[in-house]
Amino acid sequence: MLRHQLRNSIGHICSIRFLKYHSTISSENVLQNRRHKTRPFSATVLVRNARKGSKQSFSNDRHLHGGSVESSIEVFKQSDLQHLKSLQCYDIQEKVSGGKTDCPATILVFDIETTGFSRRGDRIIEFAVRDLMGGKNSTFQTLINPEREVKNAAVHGISTKMVCSSDIPRFGEFIPILLQYVWSRQVAGKPVMWVAHNGKTFDVPFLIFEFQRCKQEMPADWLFVDTLPIARQLVDSDGEKISSASMKTLVERYKIPVDGKAHRAMHDVTALCYVLQKLTFELKLTVPQLLEKSFRVSDITTTPPKK
DNA sequence: GGCCCTCTTTAGGGCCTT
């Protein structure tokens, strides 16, 4: 039995366990040859200040532009982390010593906040991602300027005033920052596997439409995994399939001690990291099996967004 | 809007995401 054990940056102690490595799908199968190496994330993007006509520099350094772009955000309390550590079955630190693992993909857990549910009519206003491998700069989040009123601030607490500002990057300005982040995390010869809850019908189509609006193409070697259909395979104590597979239900099921505000992107990303760990352990899912369940942008049916 | 389930498949309703 070969285990893939990953470490994320949640206090450097969280782990994810995948049982039974018997891949029928290899990195080479899912990734076109690339020569990326893991690099420090130091994206610098010139963004024109629409109001002042000047140029500003964005990077992933902490607390830039009024906190709109941040890294390494801690959401869970240390006491809660100790509780979670006690639930682990092994010591992840040993398995990732040397900073290398045999995991066949770079796993990026992500979440977005939007102005609503319509992929065509609404826009992304916040993006957060966490590389399960952890380490320095493993997290990344930013507000995004939708250039329109935010009418659902009651849901996530993100107001029009917070995002419709010249110092908040528009999505087109965010894309090169995102690509630089991914580039800094991607391991040579291995694919990037994006993970989101209900990603196939929400997060990923939103990303696709935003890229289309900006006339940009998403990298062909990006794969996506939706945890919602996976979670729907869970059964309750009576052996019946669970009636709800929402994030709220899963957080309660696994007794994940969340802190902070739900429906903020990084909060939900951190919760999903724990859910993914518990989910894959309970269903005995390996990373190769997750890769087999993954889909590509080309698998999503889309029509051009309305302008 | 896509997916899943059932009282179904020539359909309808609920879930899930903000």
A121 CB and strand B closer than 7 A: no
If one compares A51 and A199, the residue with the highest pLDDT of the two is A199
The 10s digit of each residue's pLDDT in A180-209 is 999 999 988 889 999 999 999 999 999 999
A214 CB and strand B closer than 7 A: no
Q: Which residue is nearest to nucleotide B3 (CA to C1')?
A: A229
Distance in Å from B15's C1' to A152's CA comes to: 21
DSSP reduced 3-state for A57: strand
Q: Identity (one letter) of the amino acid at A35?
A: R
Model pTM score: 0.75
If one compares A296 and A26, the residue with the highest pLDDT of the two is A296
Whether the predicted pLDDT of A90 surpasses 50: no
The 10s digit of each residue's pLDDT in A221-235 is 899 999 999 999 998
Beta strands of chain A (E only): which ranges? 4-7, 15-18, 45-48, 55-58, 69-70, 106-114, 124-131, 139-143, 192-196, 222-226
pLDDT, position A303 = 56
- Give me chain A's average pLDDT, please: 73
The 10s digit of each residue's pLDDT in A111-163 is 999 999 998 889 999 999 999 988 888 999 999 999 999 999 999 999 999 99
Distance in Å from B14's C1' to A27's CA comes to: 37
Nucleotide in closest CA–C1' contact with A200? B2
Q: Residue A284 in contact with residue A89, Cβ under 8 Å?
A: no
Q: How many CB atoms lie within 10 A of CB A170?
A: 19
A12 CB and strand B closer than 7 A: no
pLDDT band at A302 (very low <50, low <70, confident <90, very high): low
Question: What is the average pLDDT across A63-89?
Answer: 38
pLDDT, position A228 = 94
The residue from A63, A83, A263, A267 that is catalytic is A263
Whether the predicted pLDDT of A58 surpasses 90: no
Distance in Å from B8's C1' to A38's CA comes to: 51
A20-29, A47-56, A133-142 — most confident range:
A133-142
Distance in Å from B8's C1' to A242's CA comes to: 21
pLDDT, position A259 = 72
A263 CB and strand B closer than 7 A: yes
Nucleotides of B under 7 A from a protein CB: 1-5, 15-18
Tell me the HSE value of A63 on the side-chain side, using a 13 A CA sphere: 0
